[in-house]
Structure 1
Amino acid sequence: MGFLALFIVALMPVLKTLIVTAVGLFLALEKVDILGATARHHLNNLVFFVFTPALVSSNLAETITMSSLIKLWFMPVNILLTFLIGSALGWVLVKVLRTPQHLHGLVIGCCAAGNLGNLLLIIIPAVCEENDSPFGDSSTCSTNGEAYASLSMAIGAVFIWTYVYNIVRAYGIRSTGSTINRTNSANGGEIVTESSLEESLLSKDIETDHSHDTPQPIDSIENDEKVDLLFSSSMHGTNFSASSCTRVPMRKKIKQQLKIWAERMNLKMMFAPSTIATIVGLAIGATSPLRKLLIGDSAPLRVIDTSTSMIGDASIPAMTLIVGANLLKGLQRSEVGLGIIIGVQVVRYIAMPLLGILVVKAAVHFGLVGSDSLYQFVLLLQYALPTAMSMGTITQLFEVGERDCSVIMLWNYAVAALALTLWSTYYLWSVS
């Protein structure tokens, strides 16, 4: 296949996504107001609690078996690498550009979390259905591609709501003060200053074991520096404690650090609806008796699977419309400078794809990935995708950087029209 034919194959699914996104943007205009703030809020809840879990569970149950799960073992590792590499590059970016503290989590999250869900579910089947597709029979390609995209979406959702969510949470500092937002979506939560948290934990430990001693004061370390050092130390494997300057045993320092991180992490969000749906879908798909009971034309309880699948089909258009509607805020003014916008694009569309090629080619060379060209294409594509749509939801939960996130996402998806098409074309050429 020539470059032009490959370019057209790669362009079609991207254009479909952008058209639906443009429709969402139009519906959110003040003169139309079909997808206004209230409507987006309710639709977002439907997508988060109903549509996406239904899509994840039904697709995994239908396409993933125990044998295919073993075959695709490298995909979760590859997705984890995309998050780790992206967050590392994002952390370097905020340091180089001296990004405002309350935007650190947003920028790092935008660099780390790629759209591993609905975009792949649009792109892969569309590529398979093209007459000039390099992946052979369209039926087999679509079946395998749906399995790859479904697993990618499920694993990506787990990492977003465990890894990225807690990064944004750690940096979730309101612009009015250096406080960590402890807001829980279920109970309204509370706001606890990081310094008061660490001081209370430290004083409690010292008073318990050394009630006769006078604890020495903690050095004055700015809250934003503590967050930066804690995050950087977790990435580099160093054991940093904000209270390391106090003369307490190492065991106490470790205990204090664990308490602080336990306070920061919202364990409930680790079991978000999409995460639970992933567990259910994998359990059904990998367990033969359950699979025979629910999946297939002759399954006695197939109506449950078909109903779930029908609900899940609404996820992709609804989520894409929400992204378009949220991009309307990106047309307004924000604190995000041109350097941050360009930096995120460089990370997501230049640095990440180049590093992804090295990772996937190394995996192929050492026999970690089979010879399936479609599988290799999906692994490569996971490094070249725009920012995950869930970043908008996460910033709304913490009420930090919502408009700034919209600006970054607006440019991210605008640049994706060209960047994603070009990288997809190159990937198609390299694996065909």
Structure 2
Amino acid sequence: MGFLTFFMVAFMPVLLTLLLASVGLIFAMDRINLLGPTVRHNLNNLVYYVFNPCLMAAYLAKTISLDAMIEMWFMPVNILIAFVIGSAFGWVLIKITKPPPHLQGVVIGCCTAGNLRNLPHILIPAICNEPKSPFGEYSICMVDGAAYVSITMAVAGIYTWSYVYIIMKRLAEKNNEVDTHHSVVTIGSSSEASDLTETLLNSTVGGLVSMSEKIENGALRFINTLTSINLRMLFTPTNIGVITGLVIGVAPFLKNLVVGSNAPLRIIYSASDILGGTTVPCVTLVLGANLLKGLRRSGLSALLIIGVIMVRFVALPLLGIVVVRAAHHLGMVGPKPFYRFVLMFQFAVPPAMQVGTISQLFETGEGECSVIMLWTYIVATLAVTFWSTLFMWLVI
């Protein structure tokens, strides 16, 4: 297959996603208002509580086995590497661009968490469905693709609501502390200057603590960091669906009971499969509708937006190629081209929509996050196509 063929295979799923998202954006406009805030909220709840868990449970129950789990052991490591490297790039970016304190968490979050919950589920089956797909016939391609997508979505969700959540929470708290400090200084400067000087001197003396106290304080901060992980967010309905699907998939007795034309409880699987099938159109429409908020915001530094785009669509994909090829060379990744393609693809996606959700939770940089999302998803139309084409060419 030539490079042009790979390009067309990669471009058609991206174009499909763009068209569906455009429909969502149009329906969210005030003149039409079919996807207004209330409708989006209700549709998101349906996806969150019903459609996505059913999708994950049905996908994994049918496609996952113990052998497949062993074969894919490197995938959670690969996603973790992408998150850690992304956060490091995000830290460098805020040092260079120096955004306001309330935007630092959003910038690092956008650089860290990629959209591994929605885009792989849309694009990878679409690639399998292409007549000239390099990964074999649709039925064969989807057996592996469904397992890769399910594990990717589950692992990315866990990392987002632990690693990224903690980073954004800490930066939001730090920003609040700075605001409080400035307020105290402003109030005290006019009437209590001498008391403030005395307080600062006492603070300086009190800061000379012993080494044992420093170690103790460090241990307490580490414990607080661990306890700050939102366990409720880790056990989301989607992850419960993942656990259910994994248990059924790796246990032959349960799999024969639920999956298959002769399975006694096949009606349960069929119902889950039908409900799960609505996830892709619903999620893509909402994604497009959410981008409308970015059109109504302005004032964000162009350098900051360009920096996020460079991290997500230049630096991370290049390092993804290095990581996956090195892992393959060391025997940590098997020879399957489709598996290596998915591992590389995990480095080349736009920011996760969950970053916007977290920014709303902490009420920091919500509008600016919408602007970053808008521009990164516009650029993703070409960037994801290019990198998908290159990844196919490298693994085939």
Q: What TM-score, normalized by structure 1, do the two folds share?
A: 0.82
- Residues 57-89 of structure 1 show CA distances to partners (whole Å, capped at 9, x for unaligned) of 221121111110001111111111111111111
* 1:246 maps onto 2:246 in alignment: no
Residues 285, 291 of structure 1: 8 Å contact kept:
yes
Residues 339 and 308 (structure 1), Cα distance of their counterparts in 2 relative to 1, 3 Å cut: same
Letter in 1 for 2:345: L
Could you list the per-position Cα deviations for residues 139-173 of structure 1 after superposition, in whole angstroms to 9, with x for gaps in the alignment?
21122112111211111111112221222222225
> AA paired with 1:353?
P
**Cα distance between partner residues in 2 of 1:158 and 1:251:** 30
Q: By how many angstroms is 1:260 displaced?
A: 3.6
Alpha-carbon offset, residue 425 of structure 1: 0.8
Where does structure 1 lack aligned partners over 5 or more consecutive residues?
181-191, 194-215, 221-242
Structure 2 gaps, min length 5: 182-200
Q: 1:217 touches 1:246 (CA, 8 Å); kept in 2?
A: no
Stretch deviating more after TM superposition (74-83 or 131-140): 131-140
Does the Cα contact within 8 Å between 2:161 and 2:229 map onto a contact in 1? no
Question: Match of 2:136, as an amino acid?
Answer: G
Q: Which residue matches 1:361?
A: 325
User: Are 1:178 and 2:177 an aligned pair?
Assistant: yes
Q: Is the 8 A contact 1:174 1:400 kept in 2?
A: no
CA contact (8 A) 1:169 1:265 kept: no
Distance 1:376 1:262 in 2: 33
Q: What does 1:28-39 correspond to in 2, within 5 Å?
A: 28-39=28-39
Q: Cα offset for 1:317?
A: 1.4
Query: What are the within-5 Å matches in structure 2 for residues 140-219 of structure 1?
Result: 140-173=140-173, 177-178=176-177, 218-219=203-204
Retained in 1: the 8 A contact 2:162–2:234?
yes
1:51–1:350 CA distance, 2 compared to 1 (3 A):
same
CA separation in 1, counterparts of 2:273 and 2:213? 56
Which residue is 1:374 aligned to?
Answer: 338
Q: Deviations over 1:154-207 (max 9, x none)?
A: 1111111222122222222598x4379xxxxxxxxxxx99xxxxxxxxxxxxxx
Q: 1:343 to 1:286 in 2, by over 3 A?
A: same
1: CA distance, partners of 2:215 / 2:310: 42
CA RMSD of aligned residues (A): 2.4
1:92 Cα deviation from its structure 2 partner: 1.1
The CA deviation string for residues 276-304 of structure 1, in whole angstroms up to 9 with x for no partner, is 22222212211222212212222111211
Deviations 1:350-394 (A, max 9, x none): 000000000000011111111101111111111111111222222
5 Å matches for 1:120-131?
120-131=120-131
SS in 2 for 1:345: helix
> In structure 1, how many angstroms separate the alpha carbons of the residues matched to 2:161 and 2:299?
26
Shift of 1:41: 1.7
Q: Percent identity?
A: 48
Q: Within 1, Cα distance between the matches of 2:340 and 2:121?
A: 16
Residue aligning to 2:92? 92
* Equivalent residues in 2 for 1:13-412, closer than 5 Å: 13-173=13-173, 177-178=176-177, 218-219=203-204, 245-247=208-210, 249-262=213-226, 264-412=228-376
Task: Name the CA shift for 1:218/1:282 in 2 (closer, same or farther; >3 Å).
Answer: farther
8 A contact 2:27–2:33 mirrored in 1: yes
Once residues 163 and 393 of structure 1 are traced to their aligned partners in structure 2, the CA distance between those partners, rounded to angstroms, is 15
Contact 2:161–2:230 (Cα < 8 Å) also in 1? no
Shift of 1:423: 0.7
SS in 2 for 1:172: helix
- Which whole-Å CA distance do the structure 2 matches of 1:143 and 1:168 have between them? 37
Go from structure 1 to structure 2 and tell me whether the alpha carbon gap of 1:79 and 1:259 turns closer, same or farther (over 3 Å shift): closer
Post-superposition shift, 1:395? Answer: 2.2
- Structure 1 residues 394 and 317 mapped into 2: Cα distance closer, same or farther (>3 Å)? farther
Contact preservation (8 Å) 2:114, 2:347: yes
Q: Does 1:422 align with 2:371?
A: no
Cα deviation, residue 254, structure 1: 3.4
Task: Sort the Cα spacing of 1:218 and 1:279 in 2 relative to 1 into closer, same or farther, 3 A.
Answer: farther
Confirm or deny: 8 A CA contact 1:101 1:173 kept in the other structure.
Answer: no
Q: Say if 1:147 and 1:265 are closer, same or farther in 2 by CA, change over 3 A.
A: closer
Aligned residues: 377
CA offsets 1:302-342 (integer angstroms, 9 cap, x no match): 21122122222222211111111111110122452111110
Which amino acid counterpart does residue 381 of structure 2 have in structure 1?
A
In structure 1, what is the Cα distance between the partners aligned to 2:41 and 2:360?
Answer: 10
Preserved contact between residue 90 and residue 107 of structure 1 (Cα < 8 Å): yes
DSSP-derived class of the 2:261 partner: coil
CA pair 77-262 structure 1, distance change in 2 beyond 3 A:
closer
- With 280-289 and 66-75 compared, the bigger mean Cα shift is at 280-289
Q: What TM-score, normalized to structure 2?
A: 0.89
Cα distance change on mapping 1:307 and 1:108 into 2, 3 Å: same
219 and 347 in structure 1: CA distance in 2 versus 1, 3 angstrom threshold: farther
1:24–1:325 Cα contact (<8 Å) kept: yes
Q: Following the alignment from structure 1 to structure 2, what is the Cα–Cα distance between the partners of residues 313 and 126?
A: 14
In the alignment, is the contact (CA less than 8 A) between 1:117 and 1:156 conserved in 2?
A: yes
Runs (4+) of structure 1 moved beyond 6 Å?
Answer: none
Q: Could you tell me how far 1:259 is from its partner in structure 2? A: 4.8
Letter in 2 for 1:111: C
Q: Which amino acid aligns with 1:15?
A: L
Distance 2:171 2:36 in 1: 29
Other structure's SS at 2:172 match:
coil
Give the Cα separation in 1 of the matches to 2:208 and 2:39. Answer: 51
Q: If each structure's helix is expressed as a fraction of its own residues, which one has the higher value?
A: 2
